[in-house]
Amino acid sequence: MTGNSPLLSVEGLTIDLPAQPGLVQDVSFEVGRGRSLALIGESGCGKTLTSMAILRLLPPGLTIAGGRIVFDGTDLLTCSPRELRAVRGGPVGVVFQEPMSSLDPTMTVGDQIAEARLLHLGERRSVALRRAEELLDRVGIPNAAQRVRSYPHELSGGMQQRVMIAAAIACDPKLVIADEPTTALDVTIQAEILGLLRDLQRDLDLAVLLVTHDLGVVADFCDDVVVMYAGHVVERASIDELFYSPGHPYSSALLASVPQSGSPRTRLAVIPGRVPPAGRFPAGCRFQPRCVHNRPEVCGRPQPDSVLAGAHRSRCGRVASGALTVEGVPRG
């Protein structure tokens, strides 16, 4: 399916634990074709669960209790296991944070990349292995012809992550989901891997869903952003909207915690308090107890997802009604 419909649409996604319904609640966002979307928020806000739910890869015990996830015309929550397997590793590639937890230590990296092409495209092994070599070369692995026969432990962390990316793009995907793909790597390697992802995105017209804590990465890499707090999406915005006119006090507080280039490196602002653990979410706005703009009579009620302008949306009733303007932090 092509045209103007988004490549991926997530509508009202809700994830439950038996004792903790609404661990992730009513999450909606879209990823356009060829666009890069960042999923941001503090630790424990539900970014990984949301991104894993897209391919129905939730850990045992967690269930998708509601919502709709449509990828390129296929409803991923109602399709058959066979259809789902055809999507995973085919038109949707995945890169995880820890390459060693996803790579098989007993198989050469070439075989692991080739496997996706055997499975999804029915290629002969020799053809798939040649393609694996080209892919290793494409992701910047030197001596790809030799490296194709290496085992994962023979490679550095940065090279392993390049292998993961090669496997994720092996079947010419339309979407790559990357959950914190660089946090396990040192800073220079992080920049190289993100640069590689950005080049691939442009050259292959890929859409990317990037889970990250790093607002600098968001500013450099992404077109659009979804801000999550305690299992809710609190804001959806373009990158410029987020930085110049954020639509939620939580987004504004996150931006304030980033040092601005050019300003003296004083202490970062931290958001006082913590993300509430699952099961201890307050009624109404979940950010309310930490919010300097809290008005219990408004914020204690459920906050609808309101349109601010165009595709810019906020789950803060005070911002949506015009009663509150929160500050942005211009980039650069």
In the complex, the residues that contact ligand ATP under the rule CB under 6 A are 17, 23, 41, 43-49, 59, 61-62, 213, 277-278
CB of 49 to Mg ion, least distance (A): 8
> Taking CB within 5 to 8 Å according to partner kind, which of ligand ATP, Mg ion, none is near residue 43?
ligand ATP
The runs of H, that is alpha helices, within 25-155 are 47-53, 81-87, 99-102, 109-121, 125-138, 144-147
- CA count, 13 A, side-chain hemisphere, 233: 26
Is 196 or 211 the residue whose CB approaches Mg ion more closely? 211
> Taking CB within 5 to 8 Å according to partner kind, which of ligand ATP, Mg ion, none is near residue 195?
none
Q: DSSP assignment of 240-306, as one string?
A: HHHHHS-SSHHHHHHHHTSPPTTS---PPP--SS-PPPTT-PPSS-TTGGG-TT--HHHHTSPPP-E
Contact 119, 89 (CB under 8 A): yes
> Taking CB within 5 to 8 Å according to partner kind, which of Mg ion, ligand ATP, none is near residue 84?
none
User: What Rg, from alpha-carbon coordinates, does the chain have?
Assistant: 21
> Taking CB within 5 to 8 Å according to partner kind, which of Mg ion, ligand ATP, none is near residue 278?
ligand ATP
Is 48 or 108 the residue whose CB approaches ligand ATP more closely? 48
Q: Which residue is nearest to Mg ion (CB)?
A: 48
Is 46 or 90 the residue whose CB approaches ligand ATP more closely? 46
Is 48 or 252 the residue whose CB approaches Mg ion more closely? 48
CB of 48 to Mg ion, least distance (A): 3
CB of 306 to ligand ATP, least distance (A): 23
Applying CB under 5 A, the span of 4-12, 16-24, 45-53, 140-148 interacting with Mg ion comes to 45-53
Residue 175 β-bridge partners: 92, 207
CB of 42 to ligand ATP, least distance (A): 7
> Taking CB within 5 to 8 Å according to partner kind, which of Mg ion, ligand ATP, none is near residue 49?
ligand ATP
CB of 21 to ligand ATP, least distance (A): 12
> Taking CB within 5 to 8 Å according to partner kind, which of Mg ion, ligand ATP, none is near residue 288?
none
Residue type at position 76: L
CB of 177 to ligand ATP, least distance (A): 12
Q: How far apart are CA 118 and CA 230, in angstroms?
A: 40
CB of 332 to ligand ATP, least distance (A): 26
Q: Which of 25, 36, 48, 201 binds Mg ion (CB under 5 A)?
A: 48
Between helices 187-204 and 157-168, what is the axis angle to 10°? 20
Is 147 or 248 the residue whose CB approaches ligand ATP more closely? 248
Is 40 or 329 the residue whose CB approaches Mg ion more closely? 40
CB of 324 to ligand ATP, least distance (A): 26
Q: How far apart are CA 144 and CA 155, in angstroms?
A: 12
| C-alpha to C-alpha distances, 294 to 248, 250, 301, nearest whole angstrom | 12, 11, 12
Q: How far apart are CA 292 and CA 50, in angstroms?
A: 28
Q: How far apart are CA 270 and CA 95, in angstroms?
A: 30
Q: Where does 125-275 show beta strands of DSSP type E?
A: 175-179, 207-211, 224-229, 232-238
Tell me the CA end-to-end span of the chain in Å, nearest whole number.
Answer: 38
Contact 15, 65 (CB under 8 A): yes
Site residues, Mg ion (CB under 5 A): 48
